[in-house]
């Protein structure tokens, strides 16, 4: 098994790396890696319904869709992520407890009473310290998990705080749980770097024929191409969301503004705007112009820039229209 310390902290590059080791490296792999601020959403989720859009935008948090299912998770440099790829028989691949066992063993060696609970969580004192997800490709599995070591817990809750009333869809929903950092349960404090090395040393010790591996320049070039062409694109991260209806009402100086959207494959197919505002020209032109536009801020602003918004919505500006659409 190849054991990899992955040095990148670019979320788009790192999620692309998971796909690369699954599909393009024949040997089984174990990889440790960290992301800078990011929300990683499950393959079958409606991205916009999983994030606090205003908070994510204000704090420049990357949003990336992964290959595996499950719920959305917040990553920062206080998280340690691990990935296994393994070839085997389909019936034996999705054993979440097996893949998390080395992590639990390291934590218990450090005096942390970690347990595997439920279908995919690691917990300490009933609080979640890690979630896990998996994706099967042919006869091979990608199993990955996110360990809360010294994460900014407030940012976790704020970035994933959404209004469930805004979205009506059939997408997989995240289930909020009480969380805690591993560092808060250590009898002797260590850094995340020291913890990373302890995990890697344990994996190297327990898996026969395991050895350290460094990505070649060719590996890195192919991962970057996958990053740029897939994981950093609007189409993958938002356009792959299941179809949904969106509704939001805001209060403006011009009155109440209610936005209703029907979105399919990330594109607005129907728009209906209600409110007690006044309008010189009516709003039908704006509604029609927004049809076939991506449900994405810059695309919407480009459409709105063609209009003198004040003539359609008295005392309401383009920023407020955009606010009502997210």
What is the per-residue pLDDT across 167-222, written as a single tens digit (0 to 9) for each?
Answer: 888 787 876 678 899 999 999 999 999 999 999 999 999 999 999 999 999 999 99
User: What does the pLDDT read at residue 217?
Assistant: 97
Higher-confidence residue of 225 and 91: namely 225
Q: What pLDDT is attached to residue 96? A: 86
pTM of the model: 0.87
pLDDT in tens, 77-131: 999 999 999 998 755 667 888 899 999 999 999 999 999 988 888 999 999 999 8
Check residue 323 and give left, alpha or beta (phi > 0: left; psi -120 to 50: alpha): alpha
Mean pLDDT of 151-166: 84
Quote the CA–CA distance of 292 and 315 in Å, as a whole number. 26
Fold match between domain 2-239 and domain 244-323: no
Q: Is the pLDDT of residue 165 over 80?
A: no
Domains of the chain by residue range: 2-239, 244-323
CATH of domain 244-323: 3.30.390.50
Tens of pLDDT, residues 126-151: 999 998 999 999 889 999 999 999 99
- The beta strand positions in the chain, using DSSP E, are 2-5, 29-33, 38-41, 62-65, 73-75, 79-87, 114-117, 121-124, 127-137, 140-148, 167-169, 211-212, 244-252, 255-264, 267-275
Q: Does domain 2-239 have CATH number 2.60.40.10?
A: no
Query: Average pLDDT, whole number, for the chain?
Result: 93
Whether the pLDDT of residue 163 is over 80: the answer is no
Q: Note the pLDDT tens digit of each residue in 236-278.
A: 999 899 999 999 999 999 999 999 999 998 999 999 999 999 9
């Amino acid at each position: 098994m190849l054991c990899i310390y992955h040095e990148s902290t670019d979320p788009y590059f790192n999620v692309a790396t998971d796909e690369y080791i699954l599909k393009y490296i024949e040997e089984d792999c174990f990889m440790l890696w960290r992301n800078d601020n990011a929300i990683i959403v499950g393959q079958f989720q409606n991205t916009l319904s999983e994030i606090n859009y205003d908070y994510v935008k204000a704090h420049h948090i990357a949003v990336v869709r992964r290959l595996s299912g499950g719920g959305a998770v917040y990553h920062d440099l206080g998280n340690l992520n691990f990935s296994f790829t393994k070839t085997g028989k389909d019936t034996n691949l999705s054993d979440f407890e097996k893949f998390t066992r080395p992590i639990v063993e390291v934590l218990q060696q450090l005096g942390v009473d970690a347990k595997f609970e439920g279908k995919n969580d690691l917990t300490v004192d009933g609080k979640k310290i890690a979630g896990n997800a998996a994706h099967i490709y042919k006869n091979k599995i990608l199993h990955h998990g996110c360990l809360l070591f010294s994460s900014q817990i407030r940012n976790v809750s704020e970035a994933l705080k959404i209004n469930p009333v805004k979205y009506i869809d059939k997408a997989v929903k995240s289930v909020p749980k009480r969380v805690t950092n591993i560092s808060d349960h250590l009898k002797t404090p260590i850094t995340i770097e020291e913890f990373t090395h302890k995990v890697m040393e344990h994996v190297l010790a327990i898996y026969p024929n395991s050895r350290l591996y460094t990505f070649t320049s060719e590996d890195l070039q192919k991962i970057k191409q996958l990053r740029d062409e897939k994981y950093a694109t609007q189409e993958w991260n938002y356009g792959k969301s299941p179809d949904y209806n969106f509704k939001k009402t805001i209060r403006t100086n011009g009155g109440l503004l209610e936005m209703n959207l029907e979105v399919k494959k990330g594109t607005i197919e129907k728009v209906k705007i209600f409110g007690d505002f006044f309008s010189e020209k009516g709003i039908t032109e704006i509604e029609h112009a927004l049809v076939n536009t991506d449900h994405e801020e810059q695309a919407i602003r480009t459409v709105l820039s063609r209009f003198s918004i004040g003539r359609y919505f008295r005392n309401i500006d383009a920023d407020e229209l955009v606010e009502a659409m997210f």
